[in-house]
Amino acid sequence: MKKVLKLLQRTLAIVVVVGLVYSCKKEKVEKIEIDNQFAISVFSDTIKISDFLNNLDSLVLEYIKVTEDGSIYACYSDTVENDVVASDVLSGLDDIIFETSNEFEMPTIPPSPVPIPVELPLDDIFSLPFEYDGYEINSVILKSGDIKLDFSTNLNIDGKMTLTTDEIKMSDGSDFSVEINLNNAGTQSINIDLTNCSITPVEDEIHLSAVISATLSEGLGGMYHFNLNGGIKDVEFKSIDGSVQPKRYDFIGTEEIHTGFPNLYGDLKIVTPEFSVKYINTFGFAAQGFIDSLYLTDADGNLTTVIEDWDCVELELYSTDDYYGVINDLDDQLVDEFDLLDDYKEIFFMGNVLLGSDNITNDMISEDSHIDIIADLELPLEFNIDNLLFMDTLDFDLNLSSGMNSEEDQSIHVENIFDEIEFKFVFENSMPIMLKPQVYMLENDQVIDSLFDGNDFIHACENGIAVEDVVEVLLTGESLLNIQKANKISLKIGLSSLGKDVSIKSSDFFKMRLGLRTKTTEIYMDDINL
């Protein structure tokens, strides 16, 4: 604007100088009568949607995506990593506590003057439970765990009892084996580390056999009892062969987001929101997912639901190894409209995963097995606009003395110089949106005048072809005074899609050219200090 005013100043100066030369023989020039019309092109500017997007707040721009065809999306995502992990399935197991006993009739062995070596096998002397709720185990490898054995017997001989089973394989591949001294009536407590052991129970039990080894000189025979108490504790599976009964694992996901467009007010209803779920399932079998709620929340904690029909949001989470599976046929379950102008701060969703299978092999669950769920909400800039305003207030200073050399007060009163000023606006619009412009002149934040009469429209483009509108605004009399008094201008642009669903693309643009025409018939020199 200042460039325009300086140009006007120079033009006025030329007019005045010409008048002075023409009247040089007169002692005093009080008034110059002229018939002057002066037209200039003030500026031409093109606002591209792509430039508008690039100038958005970086926090908002983070969520804007532009596709190859120029379609614009506001994209919000919430991720729940490790919604289910292997440790959820393979750990947290209750300790197994057992108390078992057996009686055995020792064969009669007569006294001997020479010590005699004796070995007595006792098959299946003890049965230890190995059963966990929710699991049917054919075999299992333990990541951790230990077994505690408290053994007692009334058999008191100089010998030992060796307990063995091939249903427990130690980490080196050998059969489980433990020796118990039978001296002092064979009372003994033993702890055995089961890390990396494999266990193959038979009908949910581990069966222990025994061999009594001794060198006897005294006679032996009769009934003896054997007691074995203890527990299998702190067990965590590394892998399992069998089945895992379905179990639900709840999840909650929250992600900070930023929405809103500056200087836009009203309703910006997105008419075709898109919702998809990405997931990773590195378990060797499928799971079922359920989303119970999906909301956007504002700073006050108010919730805006995104999903309309909760009963239908079921997901089949197939085994994916390390790549993403995508479920993108969920759009019918969304609300019909969504207001993009609301100042949302967070996306929130919750649900559960049902995990289990009747046929699991050792390679189906590893230590790294996990399920991640990502809820993606995409809001394309496809909307129906009825009541939307762009508003902004700018500083404004029509100081015609700007750039003059004299230090004196040299203000030029525009209403005393110009009979009229006409602005010529040429609009070119490639957006499918009609605009209704208005510019208010403000003095000390009070509206003192307006630029348009309220009946001017910028038509929406049709069939992808930009349209051109010309609006001429003539200022005379009091309006000329008001434009100089104004210290601010307020922009107010109404937007409408005329009842249609329309979309905005990054290639769309709005172009405005402004021309200025002035008319001057006489200049009083008292109004100009040169």
The CATH number covering residue 103 comes to 2.60.120
Residue where the block lists tokens 């910028």: 458
Same domain for 237 and 102, yes or no, is yes
For strands 370-380 and 314-317, give the pairing. unpaired
Identify the pLDDT of residue 402: 46
Same domain for 374 and 399, yes or no, is no
Domain boundary among 241, 265, 290: 241
Contact 463, 484 (CB under 8 A): no
Same domain for 319 and 411, yes or no, is no
Same domain for 401 and 523, yes or no, is yes
Best CA proximity match to 291, nearest among 304, 275, 269, 303: 275
Identify the pLDDT of residue 321: 79
**25 contact partners, CB below 8 Å, separation of at least 6:** none
- CA dist 384 and 366 (Å) reads 51
Same domain for 72 and 168, yes or no, is no
**156 contact partners, CB below 8 Å, separation of at least 6:** 182, 183, 184, 185, 186
Domain boundary among 225, 241, 257: 241
Our measurement of the distance from residue 289's CA atom to the centroid of its chain's CA atoms, rounded to an integer in Å, reads: 18
Regions of the chain where pLDDT drops below 50: 1-32, 34, 400-410, 525, 529-530
Identify the pLDDT of residue 14: 34
pTM over 0.75: no
Name the residue range of residue 349's domain: 59-88+245-384
Same domain for 371 and 251, yes or no, is yes
Identify the pLDDT of residue 404: 43
Same domain for 175 and 252, yes or no, is no
Q: Which parts of 217-343 are beta strand (E)?
A: 220-256, 264-266, 269-270, 274-281, 287-298, 303-305, 314-317, 325-327, 338-339
Contact 203, 131 (CB under 8 A): no
Identify the pLDDT of residue 192: 95
- CA dist 300 and 528 (Å) reads 58
Same domain for 279 and 377, yes or no, is yes
Same domain for 151 and 111, yes or no, is yes
Identify the pLDDT of residue 503: 87
Same domain for 287 and 421, yes or no, is no
3-state secondary structure of 345: strand
Same domain for 225 and 311, yes or no, is no
- CA dist 118 and 211 (Å) reads 10
- CA dist 77 and 509 (Å) reads 29
The token duo for 266 is: 């009203």
Same domain for 368 and 399, yes or no, is no
Residue where the block lists tokens 């040429």: 426
Best CA proximity match to 437, nearest among 516, 339, 510, 518: 510
The CA dihedral of 471, 476, 482, 485, to the nearest 10 degrees, is 110
Please tell me the total count of domains within the chain.
3
**232 contact partners, CB below 8 Å, separation of at least 6:** 95, 96, 98, 128, 130, 145, 146, 147, 194
Best CA proximity match to 380, nearest among 78, 67, 60: 67
Identify the pLDDT of residue 521: 59
Domain boundary among 220, 241, 262: 241
Identify the pLDDT of residue 406: 46
Our measurement of the distance from residue 304's CA atom to the centroid of its chain's CA atoms, rounded to an integer in Å, reads: 16
Identify the pLDDT of residue 520: 67
